[in-house]
Structure 1
């Protein structure tokens, strides 16, 4: 079984945006697997600026996208399963690509824990929710 092309497409479109002076944004389906500021979530979705200038330590791995960013002046660590990414697009032109949300049932390993961090006992996120219907892309301004 071959690996998903999704993380490769996300990395490629992120690089294309950066090379062309555009701002890459991702739309993420938020469930219990995504660690994002919940106060900015609407309809189980959040739009995140993933430009190098807006993030710190951005990593787009095959399973996770992680970085630190400021929300309301407060630095927050963001962890998003690649399977939860619904689209990536350039803010300035709207060009990009949409994806289906992938189920989290054993498809995405647990979030990596940095050395020295311990997770509390009984913190089992369980299988994530999945949106119903066809995926759609909205223009966000």
Structure 2
């Protein structure tokens, strides 16, 4: 199942851009798979301006946010798994969504995956005299 977080990130991004605001991501830079310039990381997090005019080749898919941006005048390819996103908000008014830091995927319910009764083999016919 696709995580709800992905849909919320997309929704806030679209809302901010459509209303002329500047969407920003807060990313946990210590998470596996995060590729950001280490010089811009503060307290293990980085704030990224993801406005269309600030980035190139922006892609938001089911697994990650990827784009190219300049840091200190040098181009850098950014990759942030959706699990590493801690917040998305509009810079102008601060409205957006924050996500819990210790977020873990929900474990499947062990009782729902195992059938409680033995599967039936099929219909049985009997001869009645």
Per the TM alignment, residue 8 of structure 1 is displaced from its structure 2 partner at its CA by 1.1
**2:70 aligned with 1:77, yes or no?**
no
Work out which of the two has the higher radius of gyration on C-alpha atoms and give 1 or 2: 2
Q: Structure 1, residues 9-60: CA drift from partner, whole Å, max 9, x if none? A: 1111101000000000000001242000000101100000001100001111
- Secondary structure of the structure 1 residue equivalent to 2:26: strand
- Secondary structure of the structure 2 residue equivalent to 1:54: coil
Separation of aligned partners in 2, 1:70 and 1:103: 32
Separation of aligned partners in 2, 1:9 and 1:62: 12
Residue of structure 1 equivalent to 2:7:
8
Separation of aligned partners in 1, 2:104 and 2:76: 25
Separation of aligned partners in 1, 2:67 and 2:35: 11
Separation of aligned partners in 2, 1:100 and 1:79: 20
Separation of aligned partners in 2, 1:103 and 1:77: 27
Separation of aligned partners in 2, 1:10 and 1:20: 16
Residue of structure 2 equivalent to 1:26:
25
Q: Could you state the TM-score of these two structures normalised by the residue count of structure 2? A: 0.76
Per the TM alignment, residue 103 of structure 1 is displaced from its structure 2 partner at its CA by 4.9
- Mean Cα deviation higher: 15-24 or 31-40: 31-40
Per the TM alignment, residue 93 of structure 1 is displaced from its structure 2 partner at its CA by 0.2
Structure 2 unaligned blocks of 5 or more: 106-129
- Secondary structure of the structure 2 residue equivalent to 1:34: coil
The correspondence of residues 27-66 of structure 1 with structure 2, limited to 5 A, is: 27-31=26-30, 32-66=32-66
Separation of aligned partners in 2, 1:51 and 1:100: 24
Equivalences, count: 103
Superposed structure 1 runs of 4+ greater than 2 Å apart: 100-104
